[in-house]
């Protein structure tokens, strides 16, 4: 954990998908810089482990098992932040899955899962946090998207579709937000995470893992981009950040 930053001290930041990968790295970095973090993910044991690390380092943390596919779970996570710490400054929407495959395989349940987690989960975050931000008069949505949404490739049609939809809705949200709310999309390339675990096609899963092992960057790189956007002055809205390995096309 890093030394506290004066611009981050006491900010209240909720993070979804916080049990591993980019979410966990962001939680540790933000807490180390003085933020109060509220962690949400489905895996309770991993949340407890990360919360313990933050507490032992002197940080402030709360956590709640959260499935972003359930609107009530997102509402509960935001409510926990407000109840425990008095407000919510930032919602980092990081939860996402990518069981990619060629459309000919007709893995319809995988398509539905990606829509439920990647797109509807994002919308449920807006539904939970936007009224809070409006009532406070300030707030910041930071959403982890993907470079897959920038360049569509075979096997990634539905996944890229969900990410493009998130980017489009985020831009609409930005335009509607006015002068007090900020909206940021962070698009990672290959990152060293367990992202491939959600893939149901074994050949594609292994190919993604092989590429990850060859060129992927640390989740800390994405966490630093998230911190950068949050730490900018309130009149500066960083809308798009793309972070990929130097070796990635």
Kindly report, residue by residue over 109-141, the tens digit of the pLDDT. Answer: 999 999 999 999 999 999 999 999 999 999 999
Residue 119 and residue 161: Cα distance in Å, rounded?
Answer: 9
How far is residue 148's CA from residue 160's CA, in Å, rounded to a whole number?
Answer: 5
- Are 191 and 222 in contact by the 8 Å Cβ rule? The answer is yes
DSSP helix/strand/coil, 202: helix
Q: What share of the chain has pLDDT > 90, as a percent?
A: 86
What token pair was written down for 113? 């899962």
Strands (E), the chain: 12-16, 36-41, 60-65, 90-93, 139-144, 181-188, 240-243
| Residue with the larger pLDDT of the pair 198 and 231 | 231
Give me the residue label for tokens 């993604």. Answer: 208
Q: 2: which DSSP letter?
A: P
CATH number of 12-243: 3.40.50.720
181 contacts 139 by C-beta, under 8 angstroms: yes
pLDDT 10s digits, 161-190 = 999 999 999 999 999 999 999 999 999 999
Catalytic residue among 111, 159, 190, 195: 159
Cα 64 to Cα 35, 45, 76, 108, 227: the distances in Å are 17, 11, 8, 30, 22
**Backbone φ, ψ for residue 30 (5° rounding):** -65, -45
Distance, CA of 160 to CA of 83 (rounded, Å): 36
Three-state DSSP at 154 gives coil
Region of 20 (left: φ > 0; alpha: ψ -120 to 50; beta: rest) is beta
Q: pLDDT-derived band of residue 194, with 50, 70 and 90 as boundaries?
A: confident
Catalytic status, residue 159: yes
User: Rounded distance, CA 141 to CA 126, Å?
Assistant: 8
Tell whether the model's pLDDT for residue 4 goes beyond 70.
Answer: no
Mean pLDDT, the chain, rounded, equals 94
> For the chain, what are the domain ranges?
12-243
> For the residues 62-84, what does the mean pLDDT come to?
97
pLDDT of res. 6: 54
In eight-state DSSP terms, residue 86 is S
Strand, coil or helix: what is 47?
Answer: helix
pLDDT, mean of residues 139-161: 95
210 φ, ψ to 5°?
-65, -45
């Amino acid at each position: 954990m890093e030394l506290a930053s004066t611009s981050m001290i006491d900010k209240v930041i909720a993070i979804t998908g916080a049990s591993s990968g980019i979410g966990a790295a962001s939680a540790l970095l933000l807490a180390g810089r003085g933020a109060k973090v509220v962690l949400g993910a489905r895996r309770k044991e991993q949340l407890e482990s990360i919360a313990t690390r933050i507490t032992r380092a002197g940080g402030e943390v709360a956590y709640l098992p959260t499935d972003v596919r359930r609107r009530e779970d997102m509402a509960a996570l935001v409510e926990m932040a407000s109840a425990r710490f008095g407000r919510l400054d930032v919602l980092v929407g990081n939860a996402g899955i990518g069981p990619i495959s060629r459309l000919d395989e007709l893995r319809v349940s995988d398509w539905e899962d990606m829509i439920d987690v990647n797109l509807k989960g994002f919308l449920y975050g807006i539904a939970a946090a936007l009224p809070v931000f409006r009532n406070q008069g300030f707030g910041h949505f930071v959403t982890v998207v993907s470079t897959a949404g920038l360049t569509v490739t075979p096997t990634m049609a539905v996944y890229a579709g969900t990410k493009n939809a998130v980017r489009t809705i985020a831009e609409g949200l930005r335009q509607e937000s006015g002068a007090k709310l900020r909206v940021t999309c962070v698009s990672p390339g290959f990152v060293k995470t367990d992202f491939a675990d959600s893939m149901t096609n074994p050949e594609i899963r292994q190919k993604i893992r092989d590429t990850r092992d060859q060129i992927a960057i640390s989740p800390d790189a994405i966490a630093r981009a998230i911190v950068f956007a949050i730490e900018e002055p309130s009149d500066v809205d960083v809308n798009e950040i793309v972070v990929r390995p130097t070796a990635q096309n």
